Amino acid sequence: MTTALRFDGLGKRYRRRWALRDCTLDLPTGAIVGLVGNNGAGKTTLLHLAIGLLRPTAGAVWVFGEPLRMDRPAGLAEVGFMAQDHLLYRGFTVADMLHYGRSLNPRFDTASATARLTALDIPLDRRVNRLSGGQQAQVALSLALAKRPRLLVLDEPVASLDPLARREFMRSLIDAVAGSDLTVLLSSHVVAELERVCDHLVLLHEGRVVLAGDIDDLLANHRLLSGPRCDDAVDGVVEATHGERHSTLLVRQHVDVPTHPRWQARPVGLEEVVLAYLGGGA
């Protein structure tokens, strides 16, 4: 596994408050990595640190083996970024945006961006402020991809989209990434969407990474146990829910199931794991 993005003891403090602490992670090249966490968990802060928009208070970021330096942003030519509010000039037409993108980036691939937008039926002569939210997101993604980045960072790209547009956007992202070794790091609150699209997950809680890894491994390594009420402490329990007579335990794998024939174990979904870490063990 080669590493696209490395966070080494990364931390960011705004005045006296740490927004991100002790973040050490390796994100593999070619992976699609989902970043989740509650509002204020530090997702945008981490993404902005990853692309050099923010200076770390502690630690360092490495992009494709090179330390990211604020005073030498040349390496950022390899990084595409799509901000939460899409950062489009609303009075520009789509064609103006492509022209602007090309004037800023010598590597800008106008032909592929034009082909992509045409295939999506997005009129090039339409002003950005006359496009739907889903179309604006597609324009922003096309601009970021046209940079031909090796790393693409997307901050809540589907936040303002309806479920259909969200799915369409994610599908087109998968198509864009297929067959390339583009690494994608994207934040979202829509865990079901991430489960469909991502290989890796990073879960932030109050500025700390509480869970990170390959999604298949994370799912294989957790399960939900239910059985008679059990108030004893059991190692490896992420979250325990107790009713009057029953208990439900979301546990990390290899935990000894309480010995009772009525205890049942079942696999978990990603949303259950995420909610358990945010609500219980985090």
Which residues bind to ligand ATP, rule: CB under 6 A?
14, 19, 37, 39-45
Question: How many other β-carbons are positioned within 10 Å of the β-carbon of residue 132?
Answer: 12
The one-character DSSP state at 281 is I
Strand ordering across the sheet containing 66-67:
17-28, 3-14, 58-63, 66-67
**Cβ closer to ligand ATP: 61 or 237?**
61
**Cβ closer to ligand ATP: 44 or 135?**
44
> Shortest distance, CB of residue 84 to ligand ATP, whole angstroms?
7
Measured distance CA(211)–CA(201) in Å, rounded: 8
**Cβ closer to ligand ATP: 150 or 205?**
205
> Shortest distance, CB of residue 58 to ligand ATP, whole angstroms?
15
> Shortest distance, CB of residue 187 to ligand ATP, whole angstroms?
7
> Shortest distance, CB of residue 112 to ligand ATP, whole angstroms?
30
Give the amino acid at 261.
P
Task: Tell me if 203 sits within 8 A of 212, measured CB to CB.
Answer: yes
**Cβ closer to ligand ATP: 44 or 183?**
44
**Cβ closer to ligand ATP: 49 or 113?**
49
Which residues are CB-contacts of 189 (< 8 A; sequence separation ≥ 6)? 36, 156, 159
252 class by beta-carbon count within 10 Å (0-12 exposed, 13-18 middle, 19+ buried): middle
**Cβ closer to ligand ATP: 37 or 157?**
37
> Shortest distance, CB of residue 52 to ligand ATP, whole angstroms?
16
Residue in this structure with the two tokens 């199931």, named with its chain if needed = 257
> Shortest distance, CB of residue 55 to ligand ATP, whole angstroms?
12
Task: Tell me if 98 sits within 8 A of 105, measured CB to CB.
Answer: no
Residue in this structure with the two tokens 């966490």, named with its chain if needed = 37
